[in-house]
Amino acid sequence: MPRKKDTPKTTLYRCAAVRDARRVDARPAAVLVRGGRIVAAGARDAVEAKLPKRGEHDVVDLPDRLILPALVNAHAHLDLVGLKPEPYGGDFAQWIAKVTEHRLDDKVDIEADVRGALRDSWLAGVGTIGDIAFSPRSVRTWFDWPANDPIAPDGATPIEGVSYLECFGLGAKQEAAYEKLVEQLNDLPFDTPLTDTVRGTVLGISPHAPYTVGVNLYKKVVALSQARAYRLCTHMAESPAEIEFVRDGKGPLLDMRRAMGLSDDIEPTGLHPIDLLHAPIRAGRWLLVHCNLIEPGHVPLLRKADASVAYCPVASDYFGLPGDGRKHPYRDLIEGKVNVCLGTDSLRCQPADEPQPMGVLPQMRHLYRRDETDPALLLQMATTNGMRALELDEREATLTAKTPADLIAVQIDPDDETDALTQALRNDSVVERLIV
Ligand SMILES: [Zn+2]
């Protein structure tokens, strides 16, 4: 028998309802946690029957709370939180120029911003993130969170996920961009990139977008990801300006490049970015962010390539995309068996009055309220689909027995017979963290 002080802590959470994207859906409900792992989650009677016969346990009563697993934000820019929410001015090139200016500003304290963004994400109920790191400084800061954060909340568990190191290089700049990327990756604390993770954070690579990265650099990045098992992510088919730049070699993004003194050896390709990058998309396993402006033929192409799509509904609507009365094709993608998950994109695109702008529940609520999307599908997009997109263990975003208990709670009305998850999507309760 282990000594008493070694006995793992056991807690029974009695709640109004519990839900995950697999099998758990119960009301009234309970979750039993032992030593930081789920023992059981589901109907209250069945879970209480699993209480240990001997030894002590704590009971936490949450009679008006729905318990969910922590959510997955498949696309964020933690190092851009210094750019606060601001309305979109209507000029995509100008908007991007402002982001670039912020990134090149030496006075920005990247480490403090990333720590703050991780803290706010955690408090908003996010357990896993796909982050785009503009520099290795962002990657390193995440590796050590919450240990390196003097004001991390008590009991904060590490946020896991993929830190995608970003690269940029068009035309003649591609070779130098690739060499810089390899140098940066080699400097990061990974002994064996094939298998290594640091505190649950995995390394990925992100060529920024088809209007800043050439086809050759995309191809080289795919080869590197295969040699070293780095995850892959890129922004794709986000704006009409991107399509115009890639297809016709002109438009506001070309003007922006010229204003920034960047090379203008840009040739029109006559192709949509997905068609231009068909070969590297097929060769790698990609997380494609946005896909606001795709053609119907792209759905089977993305399915065959086993690509995932991160849809950031608040950010897409912020930019008024896809525009021309068209709707984002997330339903077509899902129908075509493409894995679609949810992301926030940068803080700048979130509403200024959103209390938890780093959270994923506001993204779910946005889609539910706009499209009446099926709540069960939204929960799947916000948990297991996100894990699949990041190539992480899907079970860790569920309440399956033996998985780490990373639990969140949302207030609902226990006397209202409306489905508990639907209530959480209709109301404006903030997400709370349960410290297990
Ligand atoms: Zn983004």
| CA–CA dist 332, 322 (Å, integer) | 14
The CA-atom distances, in angstroms, between 53 and each of 10, 45, 57 are 12, 15, 10
Secondary structure letter of residue 320 according to DSSP: T
Q: At what angle do helices 361-371 and 375-382 cross, to 10 degrees?
A: 150
Which band of pLDDT confidence, cut at 50, 70 and 90, is reported for residue 257? Answer: confident
Report the pLDDT value the prediction gives residue 143, as an integer from 0 to 100: 87
Kindly give the distance from the C-alpha atom of residue 229 to the centroid of ligand 1, in angstroms, as a whole number: 22
List strand residue ranges (DSSP E) for 6-124, in order.
Answer: 10-19, 25-26, 29-34, 37-43, 58-69, 71-76
Kindly give the distance from the C-alpha atom of residue 344 to the centroid of ligand 1, in angstroms, as a whole number: 8
Kindly give the distance from the C-alpha atom of residue 343 to the centroid of ligand 1, in angstroms, as a whole number: 9
154-201 confidence digits (pLDDT tens) = 999 999 999 999 999 999 999 999 999 999 999 987 654 445 555 577
Kindly give the distance from the C-alpha atom of residue 242 to the centroid of ligand 1, in angstroms, as a whole number: 14
Q: Kind and range of the H or E element at 133? A: strand 126-133
Domains observed in the chain: 4-69+399-434 (2.30.40.10), 71-373 (3.20.20.140)
pLDDT above 90 coverage of the chain, percent: 82
Kindly give the distance from the C-alpha atom of residue 5 to the centroid of ligand 1, in angstroms, as a whole number: 47
Kindly give the distance from the C-alpha atom of residue 240 to the centroid of ligand 1, in angstroms, as a whole number: 16
Report the pLDDT value the prediction gives residue 264, as an integer from 0 to 100: 64
Kindly give the distance from the C-alpha atom of residue 345 to the centroid of ligand 1, in angstroms, as a whole number: 5
Kindly give the distance from the C-alpha atom of residue 124 to the centroid of ligand 1, in angstroms, as a whole number: 19
401-424 confidence digits (pLDDT tens) = 999 999 999 999 999 999 999 999
Kindly give the distance from the C-alpha atom of residue 182 to the centroid of ligand 1, in angstroms, as a whole number: 22
15-29 confidence digits (pLDDT tens) = 999 999 999 999 999
Kindly give the distance from the C-alpha atom of residue 80 to the centroid of ligand 1, in angstroms, as a whole number: 10
Kindly give the distance from the C-alpha atom of residue 172 to the centroid of ligand 1, in angstroms, as a whole number: 25
> How is the beta sheet containing 308-311 ordered, strand by strand?
71-76, 126-133, 160-167, 201-207, 231-236, 286-290, 308-311, 339-342
| CA–CA dist 179, 193 (Å, integer) | 17
Kindly give the distance from the C-alpha atom of residue 192 to the centroid of ligand 1, in angstroms, as a whole number: 28
| CA–CA dist 192, 424 (Å, integer) | 43
288-332 confidence digits (pLDDT tens) = 999 999 999 999 999 999 999 999 999 999 999 999 889 999 999
Determine contact, residues 76/343, Cβ cutoff 8 Å.
yes
Kindly give the distance from the C-alpha atom of residue 414 to the centroid of ligand 1, in angstroms, as a whole number: 38
228-253 confidence digits (pLDDT tens) = 889 999 999 999 999 999 999 999 99
Kindly give the distance from the C-alpha atom of residue 398 to the centroid of ligand 1, in angstroms, as a whole number: 26
